[in-house]
Structure 1
Amino acid sequence: MNNWPKFLPDPTSCARGFALSISFWLIVSLLWPNAYYYSYGFSRRYWYTMRSSDFQAVITFAWLCQILLFAFYHWGLTKLAEWVEIRRHNQQPPTVSAWQHWREGVIAFLTLPAAIVMGIPAISIFMLPVNRSSGALIALILGTALASAYLYHFRFAKLLKIILKFLGIFYADLLKIFELLLVPVVTGTPFFLLTIATAQILPKQLLPLTTFFLVVCVLLSAIVGYAALQYWSAHLVNWAAMWWPAESPGHSRIQARKAWKHNTTATSQSFVRHTTSWHLAANDATNLICLNLIASVLGVIGFLLFGESSEWSETQEEILGSAVALVWVALWHFWGWPREVEIARGKPEAKKSQSSAKKKRSPNSNSAPPNPVEQELNQLKATTGMNRMKSVRRSTQPTPEIADWYVFRSGEAKGPYTKLQLWEIQEITARTKVRRGEAEWQRAGEIPELGSYLTQK
């Protein structure tokens, strides 16, 4: 495979591309009423009454089927590879998690739309000599398969993952902004209703004071609402960390969140005494105040640019609204969220002390042990009453350790490594699967000699 041309898809990419194209277009051809009635010569009355939603439903159904089909394909190929490995080497291969199967389905699901769009030129070329519907189906399959093979070959899924991760961060920040704005509306509704009910009773001279108390009450109720959300979110994360599969995406992140001070103290403290929840609520309230100030400033800028708000066009309102939303998201992402993480994790001094202690306990100590012969001579001199002891010299540097350890990561064995490299490079934990030489795979926590080389995460 090293001599395979870089501009041509490898056999694995071609196989995946053809499987994706055939699976999709065959399902569409079987379920689309036009193809069914036209191909088999039945009544065409249904074709004239067919709604466009029928075609959209067929396309959507065939698209969703790729997740299940490719998960099944990957599972079947994995079982076949395990059977071959057992027969050839008489050894049980490493187990593949269920997420690895579903991951192939998700990749196929995301690759298919891009493959159809990019395969339009190839489909058009294959369509030129076609005069029948069966030939059109073959042209669709070949054009989409060619584009899919190239997308698999150039790792389109990795690029798509980067894009989706960026969009996920953006939408997560946007949802947090909606939460900051929605909580005061929900918790402050009773105070709004009380103000409206008593507006006719109170004199107009007390209107400024009433408005001031209303704003204060809404802000205080919002802080209580934020604290309640933060407190119960800690319980939700702790509950999810108990059953979240170890090989599934997000497992390491949710376990890290569980180790935060905010989550560890939530199990032993009540809502009223949970100080980190109130600190996080104060951070949310601070961001809420900043958001309102920014909206006011941008509103003034909009007034200077466009005039009265009643005179603004729809385009001007959309421009100003988009500017406000982007500034709010940037404020939360670069200032609000780092501050929230700092509060939830705990004091940074404690983290630094832990890291320094870890360095002191690091097995990366290449100093040679004391010479046992000179130690024994000093002990004999001490028993005979001699006061002059010879300084114990270090023994010669021990022979370097043989790298014969392997780590099972991302469905494949990586190595070989020394025990020190397992700790420094791979950062193994107690749950990491390792083996020595050709031995069976084991959890690193089950091997006593690796006890001091485990990374606590």
Structure 2
Amino acid sequence: MNNWPKFLPHPASWARGFALSSGFWLIVSLLPGAYYYSSYGLRAAYRLAYNNSGEGAIAFAWACQIPLFAFYHWGLTKVTEWVEIRRHNQPPPTVSAWLHWREGIVAFLTLPAAIVMGIPAIALLMLPVRGSSGAIVALILGTAISSAYLYHFRVAKLFKILLKFFWIFYANLLKTLQILLVPAATGTPFFILTIVTATMVPRQLMPLTIFVLVVCVLLSGIVGYAALQYWSAHLVNWAGTWWPVGSPGYSRIQARKAWKHNKTAISQSFVRHSTSWHLAANDGTYLIYFYLIALGFSAIGYFWFGEHSEWLETEEEMLGSATALAWVALWHFWGWQSEVAIASSQPSTKTSNKRRSSNSRLPAADPVEVELNQMSAELGNTRMRPVRKSQSPTQKSQSPTQKSQSPTQKSQSPTQKSQSPTQKSKSEQPQWYVFRSGKAEGPYTKDQLRDVQKITDRTKVRRGQTEWQRAGEISELALFLTQK
């Protein structure tokens, strides 16, 4: 297929195009009351096809392409599996059910564009038509040609890009509407209470009453945000148990299940679920931002158009659309990122950069002190050495008074002096492994084998990657274990 002409569809594209066109037009022609052609010609054929068969028949035939193409894809998959089993004697990788239905959705989206783009070809094929059957053939051929070219140039990929863009836009728009509507819903009882008690409150206390109302609405909105975040975590966890593998959104749901917000929602109650309250505070913060943006656009409208009562309907729509776009952009570029950082317990970029810069100013740790602390932890000691800054060769120089030591510090027992430096390094290096509970544990030093692991002569040990032996069978360990 490398030498195939670029502007000529592949056989697979032709097969899909003819299957889509013939399936649609044959279903429309077989429906009751679909008497197409009282006269021959493109204009009359299209007019009578839509008027006599009705919009319902057209919609039904269009919707039938989803199960039809899902069935076609399923059948081809089974044939391919049978061929692969007979040729290679092993089954091919399994195909998820979503891939079958995806083929049907692609056909459903491709058909309207194929009919519109196929009008020139249908018009040419209609010229020699002398009967209704010839008109059906012309419709099938014209639509099949345009469908084949749409499949060849991968129009489904373009549809996917467009759907993804619009889905992101509408998802952010729905989130902003949620942020705006939750306080209105949770604050309705406070509004009703304020209206009922308005006649009882003195006029001097009316500003204080309005302030208390705003605070109550904001606090009730935060509670509503927290409840939505908490139960959305349970909803995502439940959806992750049955969502088909390979279908759209599967990887996103599994990634959200791994967030701290979703993991802790299983074991914590609503009141103690801290991440839900943090997310609610984030939503409340952006609610304030939204109101500030709305006030800013109102000031711009007042400066340009005058009083609100004088605004035209077009001017109101322009300001409303600009405000909604500003809300969506604010949430998409900043709000969503902060929500992900809170829910997944990952620090944001700014905080992580600050931590790195602050840690970079600290002195480097001495590797010797770090290693001694690790060895002390393995031995069970809780007292750690203070980790000091590693010194340069110039700092390591000591004065003669620091180098001088008392005779008692220099005195050593004969047995200690008899050990060579190589023997000391070998005995202090952790190179021994112990076979416990069906697995290897270590490495340990000789002292750790005797004092921490409490090995005996029958304990299986090894040095490095050698074979397992009993400790009593190793002369070095047998002599070491007898010495206390």
| Residues 1:86 and 2:85 are matched in the alignment | yes
SS at match of 2:35: helix
TM-score (structure 2 length as normaliser): 0.69
Residue in structure 2 matched with residue 120 of structure 1 by the alignment: 119
| Structure 2 contact 182–225 (Cα < 8 Å) conserved | yes
- Matched letter for residue 29 of structure 1: S
- Matched letter for residue 201 of structure 1: M
Residue in structure 1 matched with residue 17 of structure 2 by the alignment: 17
| Structure 1 contact 127–136 (Cα < 8 Å) conserved | yes
What is the RMSD computed on CA atoms of the aligned residues?
2.6
Residue in structure 2 matched with residue 253 of structure 1 by the alignment: 252
- Matched letter for residue 149 of structure 1: A
- Matched letter for residue 78 of structure 1: T
Residue in structure 1 matched with residue 131 of structure 2 by the alignment: 132
Residue in structure 1 matched with residue 416 of structure 2 by the alignment: none
Q: What is the number of residues matched between the two proteins?
A: 351
Q: C-alpha displacement at 1:130, in angstroms?
A: 2.1
Residue in structure 1 matched with residue 27 of structure 2 by the alignment: 27
Residue in structure 2 matched with residue 66 of structure 1 by the alignment: 65
Q: Distance in 2 between the 1:92 and 1:32 partners?
A: 45
Q: Can you give the 5+ residue segments of structure 2 that lack an aligned partner in the other structure?
A: 40-46, 353-418, 426-484
| Structure 2 contact 240–254 (Cα < 8 Å) conserved | yes
SS at match of 1:33: coil
- Matched letter for residue 175 of structure 1: L
Q: Can you give the 5+ residue segments of structure 1 that lack an aligned partner in the other structure?
A: 40-46, 353-384, 392-457
Q: Distance in 1 between the 2:129 and 2:183 partners?
A: 64
| Structure 1 contact 187–225 (Cα < 8 Å) conserved | yes
Q: C-alpha displacement at 1:153, in angstroms?
A: 0.7
Q: C-alpha displacement at 1:244, in angstroms?
A: 1.3
SS at match of 1:267: helix
| Structure 1 contact 177–329 (Cα < 8 Å) conserved | yes
SS at match of 2:91: coil
Residue in structure 1 matched with residue 274 of structure 2 by the alignment: 275
- CA separation of 1:25 and 1:159: change in aligned 2, threshold 3 A: same
| Residues 1:159 and 2:158 are matched in the alignment | yes
Alignment of 1:44-443 (within 5 A): 55-348=54-347
Q: Distance in 2 between the 1:224 and 1:301 partners?
A: 33
Q: Distance in 1 between the 2:227 and 2:52 partners?
A: 44
- Matched letter for residue 256 of structure 1: A
Q: C-alpha displacement at 1:37, in angstroms?
A: 9.3
Q: Distance in 2 between the 1:54 and 1:141 partners?
A: 17
Structure possessing the higher radius of gyration over alpha carbons: 2
Q: Distance in 2 between the 1:154 and 1:287 partners?
A: 43
Q: Distance in 2 between the 1:14 and 1:134 partners?
A: 22
SS at match of 2:64: helix
- Matched letter for residue 162 of structure 2: I
Deviation readout 1:183-211 (Å, 9 max, x if unpaired) = 01110000000000001111111111111
- Matched letter for residue 112 of structure 2: P
- Matched letter for residue 28 of structure 2: V
- Matched letter for residue 265 of structure 1: T
SS at match of 1:8: coil
Q: C-alpha displacement at 1:108, in angstroms?
A: 0.7
SS at match of 1:167: helix
Q: Distance in 2 between the 1:37 and 1:141 partners?
A: 15
Residue in structure 1 matched with residue 392 of structure 2 by the alignment: none
- CA separation of 1:134 and 1:349: change in aligned 2, threshold 3 A: closer
- Matched letter for residue 107 of structure 1: V
Q: Distance in 2 between the 1:139 and 1:327 partners?
A: 50
Residue in structure 2 matched with residue 367 of structure 1 by the alignment: none
Q: C-alpha displacement at 1:179, in angstroms?
A: 0.5
Deviation readout 1:399-435 (Å, 9 max, x if unpaired) = xxxxxxxxxxxxxxxxxxxxxxxxxxxxxxxxxxxxx
Residue in structure 1 matched with residue 3 of structure 2 by the alignment: 3
Q: C-alpha displacement at 1:53, in angstroms?
A: 10
SS at match of 1:92: coil
Deviation readout 1:14-59 (Å, 9 max, x if unpaired) = 00011001111111111262427969xxxxxxx99x9969621111
Q: Distance in 1 between the 2:216 and 2:157 partners?
A: 49
Q: C-alpha displacement at 1:65, in angstroms?
A: 0.6
Percent identity over the alignment is 71
Residue in structure 1 matched with residue 375 of structure 2 by the alignment: none
Q: C-alpha displacement at 1:64, in angstroms?
A: 0.9
Q: Distance in 2 between the 1:85 and 1:347 partners?
A: 46
| Structure 1 contact 183–222 (Cα < 8 Å) conserved | yes
Q: C-alpha displacement at 1:349, in angstroms?
A: 8.8
Q: C-alpha displacement at 1:66, in angstroms?
A: 0.5
Q: C-alpha displacement at 1:388, in angstroms?
A: 5.6
